[in-house]
């Protein structure tokens, strides 16, 4: 693993929020590296800053100090437009709730980010179907989210997140709403995808059984990322 390329690096990252008359410091000089093909579990209590770390790493929030590097490029001084383009091309997000667009089919949900990036409808549909087949949900491609089970919806969400072949996948409790059996199945699909494609994944989870199956486990302590 050590010889694989680092695709995400946080160096001395600070992040704080102003609340009423005081400042809530969440990240304090946080350092972290994620390499291609690596799956890392982020396990920490609620309120410790897991979502803040993911949002900062994924360029949804700007750090108050320090730097975020994606594929070796410092992102701190990028304009909002440049950050949006970097997210669209290099970062995928999966959340606890799937956030699929209800009026579109599973196939169309996976097509949309590709078409936004500029891929033709035909090419986007072809890749979307391939990804749904890989996630073992291909026969359900024409179904809308309301017609899918929770596990199926989350597999569509993962397929959508990787549709543009990102370097990094950031997942915030991706199996939190699923039963243990379905959680295991979704995790296996995500793990296989990472291994096959070289995708690097940082997965925030409360599921210790799943965390132990990843390459390593980290937590947040006093605003810093530390190994477990």
**Assign residue 200 a region: left if phi > 0, alpha if psi is -120 to 50, beta otherwise?**
beta
Average pLDDT over residues 59-74: 94
Q: How many domains does the chain have?
A: 1
- Cβ proximity of 8 and 34 under 8 Å: yes
Predicted pLDDT at 18: 85
What confidence category does residue 10 fall into, taking pLDDT thresholds of 50, 70 and 90?
very high
Residue at 194 is within a domain = yes
Q: Across residues 30-50, what is the average pLDDT?
A: 91
What are φ and ψ of residue 126, in 5° steps? Answer: -65, -45
> Which residue, 175, 156, 171, 228, is CA-closest to 204?
171
**Token pair for residue 159?**
């397929």
CATH number assigned to the domain comprising residue 187? 3.40.50.300
At 184, is the pLDDT very low, low, confident or very high (cuts 50, 70, 90)?
confident
Q: Specify the DSSP class assigned to residue 105.
A: -
Q: Is the pLDDT of residue 109 over 90?
A: yes
Average pLDDT over residues 8-32: 91
The pTM (predicted TM-score) of the whole model is: 0.87
Number of H-type helices and E-type strands within the chain:
7, 10
Q: Is residue 2's pLDDT more than 60?
A: no
Tell me whether residue 66 is in a domain: no
For 88, phi then psi, to 5°, come to: -60, -35
Residue 200 in contact with residue 35, Cβ under 8 Å? Answer: yes
Does some domain include residue 103? Answer: yes
**Could you report the per-residue pLDDT of 118-130, keeping only the tens digit for each?**
899 999 999 999 9
pLDDT in tens, 72-103: 999 988 999 999 989 888 998 888 777 899 99
Residue 71, in any domain of the structure? no
Q: What is the pLDDT of residue 1?
A: 55
Higher pLDDT, 188 or 143: 143
d(CA 26, CA 132): 37
Query: Is residue 58 scored above 80 in pLDDT?
Result: yes
Residue 20 pLDDT exceeds 90: no
On whether residue 41 sits in a domain, the answer given is yes
pLDDT of residue 30 exceeding 60: yes
Specify if 11 maps to a domain.
no
So what's the pLDDT on residue 72?
92
| 27, part of any domain | no
43 within a domain of the structure (yes/no): yes
* Percent above pLDDT 70 for the chain: 99
The pLDDT of 21-41, averaged and rounded, is: 92
Name the band, by pLDDT with cuts 50, 70 and 90, for residue 53: very high
For residue 167 the two structure tokens come to 């370097």
H/E segment holding residue 1: none
User: C-alpha distances in angstroms, 25 versus 63, 67, 75, 77?
Assistant: 11, 17, 21, 22
**Which residues have C-beta within 8 Å of that of residue 62, sequence separation ≥ 6?**
56, 76
Angle between helices 106-117 and 80-90 (to 10 degrees): 130
Backbone phi, then psi, for 162, in 5-degree steps? -105, 10
Higher pLDDT, 187 or 122: 122
Which residue do the tokens 């749904």 mark? 132
- The tokens for 223 are 């605003």
DSSP-derived 3-state class of residue 86: helix
Distance CA 134, CA 120 (A): 21
Band (pLDDT 50/70/90 cuts) for residue 210 is confident
Quote the domain boundaries for residue 156.
37-61+79-227
């Amino acid at each position: 693993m050590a010889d694989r390329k680092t695709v995400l690096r946080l160096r001395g990252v600070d992040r704080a929020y102003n609340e009423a008359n005081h400042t809530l410091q969440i990240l304090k000089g946080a350092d972290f590296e994620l390499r291609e093909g690596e799956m890392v579990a982020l396990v920490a209590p609620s309120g410790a800053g897991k979502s803040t770390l993911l949002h900062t790493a994924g360029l949804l929030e700007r750090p108050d100090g320090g730097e975020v590097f994606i594929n070796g490029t410092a992102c701190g001084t990028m304009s909002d437009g440049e950050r949006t383009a970097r997210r669209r091309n290099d970062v995928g997000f999966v959340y606890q709730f799937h956030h699929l667009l209800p009026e579109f089919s599973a196939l169309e949900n996976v097509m949309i980010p590709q078409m936004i990036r500029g891929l033709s409808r035909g090419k986007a549909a072809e890749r979307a179907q391939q990804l749904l087949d890989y996630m073992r949900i291909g026969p359900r491609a024409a179904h809308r989210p309301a017609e899918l089970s929770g596990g199926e919806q989350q597999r569509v969400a993962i397929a959508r997140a990787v549709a543009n072949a990102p370097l990094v996948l950031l997942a915030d409790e991706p199996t939190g709403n699923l039963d243990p059996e379905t959680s295991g199945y979704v995790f296996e699909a995500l793990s296989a995808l990472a291994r096959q494609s070289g995708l690097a994944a940082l997965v925030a989870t409360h599921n210790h059984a799943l965390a132990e199956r990843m390459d390593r486990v980290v937590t947040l302590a006093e605003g810093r990322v530390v190994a477990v």
